[in-house]
Structure 1
């Protein structure tokens, strides 16, 4: 059955895995004959390159980001006339933009589905008319990482009454169900690509790929590399990505004496090519959902060493078989795992080939089939 499918996110082109996932799924559904529309609430500070013309329409609601609101602290805050006017203006603006969503949803055919990828975007969808459409609210991060943020209470508030809340693993779904969201299910991410040419794992390079922000833990990676690099002076750590912490991280790199063994590569539009030029991949995140970067590395036959920071990480990597996991934040242990893989070419090759085989269980056609079964179920 061909359906109208709406993806609603914070932005249609902000940097990060949610954007990559949204447009991958939008393409897959379009190829299956569905009518797809990708919607963003506001534009990002730094846009992501979406790769030219898209085979589906996109819409951004706000021309400029909506004003941010701080908490109303105490009686004085609640009585502040200027702040109250500021909040009233923002609420009126939200209603105006939500009406744009309503118009799009009302024009959809039977069986329409609204997939809200982030809870901030859900605040606008909650104000819109979604009658006749199934609404799916998603969280692309682990339960524990959400629990530590302001998003936790908003997920409890805004996802409680959607037709289905979706997280990325069964383990995380069980945790949300225990918090009273018994409409929660799980759906893993699809494999972003399966390159025809895997990495030969001959270049003496460790690859890191991700935004240069606190979440990705590049500061901890540099600490780990400071322990591993002296053992392997002919190896290089290549860090792909950009972000708000870049200047701070470069200073840390210099202070650790790593400038000769660390290459700052910036953003890349050729992820498979970058991965093929590496022999192992490292992920040092403080929090993750179901990280696409790990799947991309494994598809390229590059073994991974990663902090076991989320259920999605330990579901993707089978520790000791196709990669190595370490306790979150333990930089000494991460350094030991890097040393283990760098020192043993046979181990790298065995794990790299196992990774390329095992990651095929997330083939896009299988994930799309599961989504379409969910659509049919919600329509009953």
Structure 2
């Protein structure tokens, strides 16, 4: 198999969250296939994920902190020395970061591949000479979630210029093609781990794993659990994750009278261990891409109840076969799905067993083969 030089360029290299986790997962897999890999982030994260001291590939951050946002100085602001100094410092910092990125890429072999794992880093990449490289752009969220925020315009601005850009599902790729982008394909995330032993599903525990941020909808999960808990007094909801919204969410939990049935577990580096102690997994996100936590739960034979908030979710979960989906944002419907799974051991077992089998269509080997096919296509 041909060995290639790959650069994975994202917002950060160490942020606690799905994209950084995916980045290091793929860096390890690409390295295992014999490729040379360098992981690059725009800046170091504040809320960091645990990383080993030696990943087996170089890791670089262009800024120690989140870079300043460009601000137009006009009118009376032009007379403000502090504002002018701040903007001059931002411009100087960006020139330095662009020069550092250019230095990392200029020595790469002709035809080496840069994978922009998120669209924001394109702001720096497009100021670098990449004429000798192939550029792949990615989005790790659904079209609908991008469309509702500024990233839609960033994608429309930056990704028409790349050699290939990848949505997570064919459904979203088709929508982007309809939006006028003709270089679109799709690539699913890879299942990170298949535990040797599935969860026994004996504990009366519902697990949630994710950042405590608006996108993950933990506030809606608490409202949902308020409908479930009175009917399942012997069940417990364990919320694994950390984030800026934790104080408000804990206050909401108390206001709903749920402190006796909700446990705040903090962040975890042992997802398989968490799932081994769970019998149901719940995902209440407002928006998703191709959620790794959902796949990991299924790999552990833990049946899932989730909001159908993105094509990636319904690509992973086959509703009624290996999990249960509720309309996005419908708290009553999600509560119904949780009541069904927590109240029916046979349903849990049947769906959990089917989930473990079905999710293996996203195995690392199969997804890596798809990447190799893409690399060969770019070299034609």
Q: Name the TM tier (shorter chain).
A: over 0.9
Matched, 1:237 2:245: no
1:335 to partner: Cα distance: 0.5
Q: Secondary structure of 1:326's partner?
A: strand
Matched, 1:179 2:214: no
RMSD of the TM alignment (CA)? 1.5
Judge which range, 53-62 or 254-263, deviates more.
53-62
Matched with 2:110 is: 110
Judge which range, 61-70 or 165-174, deviates more.
61-70
Matched, 1:225 2:197: no
Partners of 2:316 and 2:65 lie apart in 1 by 38
Partners of 1:198 and 1:251 lie apart in 2 by 35
**Conserved in 1, the CA contact under 8 Å of 2:198 and 2:300?**
yes
> Pairwise mapping of residues 78-89 of structure 1 onto structure 2 (< 5 A)?
83=83, 86-89=86-89
Partners of 2:76 and 2:186 lie apart in 1 by 40
**Conserved in 2, the CA contact under 8 Å of 1:95 and 1:127?**
no
Judge which range, 312-321 or 177-186, deviates more.
177-186
Q: Note the alpha carbon deviations across 1:327-349, whole angstroms, 9 max, x for none.
A: 11111111111000111100000
Partners of 2:157 and 2:32 lie apart in 1 by 34
Q: What TM-score, normalized to structure 2? A: 0.96
**Conserved in 1, the CA contact under 8 Å of 2:45 and 2:65?**
no
Partners of 1:341 and 1:39 lie apart in 2 by 42
**Conserved in 2, the CA contact under 8 Å of 1:141 and 1:288?**
yes
Matched with 2:211 is: 211
Partners of 1:303 and 1:176 lie apart in 2 by 32
**Conserved in 1, the CA contact under 8 Å of 2:116 and 2:135?**
yes
C-alpha distance 246-37 of structure 1, shift in aligned 2 (>3 A): same
C-alpha distance 199-336 of structure 1, shift in aligned 2 (>3 A): same
Matched, 1:27 2:28: yes
1:93 to partner: Cα distance: 2.5
Count how many residue pairs are aligned between Structure 1 and Structure 2.
378
Matched with 1:18 is: 19
Matched with 1:131 is: 131
Q: Secondary structure of 1:212's partner?
A: coil
Matched, 1:364 2:364: yes
Matched with 1:263 is: 263
Q: Secondary structure of 2:146's partner?
A: helix
Matched with 2:308 is: 308
Matched with 1:342 is: 342
Matched with 1:375 is: 375
Q: Note the alpha carbon deviations across 1:89-142, whole angstroms, 9 max, x for none.
A: 423422321122222212112331000111111111111111211001110000
Q: What TM-score, normalized to structure 1? A: 0.96
**Conserved in 1, the CA contact under 8 Å of 2:12 and 2:42?**
yes
Partners of 1:10 and 1:113 lie apart in 2 by 18
1:65 to partner: Cα distance: 3.0
1:88 to partner: Cα distance: 4.7
**Conserved in 2, the CA contact under 8 Å of 1:199 and 1:275?**
yes
**Conserved in 1, the CA contact under 8 Å of 2:212 and 2:218?**
yes
Matched with 1:169 is: 169
Unpaired runs of 5+ residues, structure 2, are: none
Matched, 1:57 2:35: no
Partners of 1:364 and 1:55 lie apart in 2 by 18
Partners of 1:225 and 1:246 lie apart in 2 by 17
1:56 to partner: Cα distance: 0.4
Partners of 1:81 and 1:375 lie apart in 2 by 51
Unpaired runs of 5+ residues, structure 1, are: none
Q: Note the alpha carbon deviations across 1:218-239, whole angstroms, 9 max, x for none.
A: 0000001000110010000000
Matched with 1:69 is: 70
Partners of 2:287 and 2:129 lie apart in 1 by 34
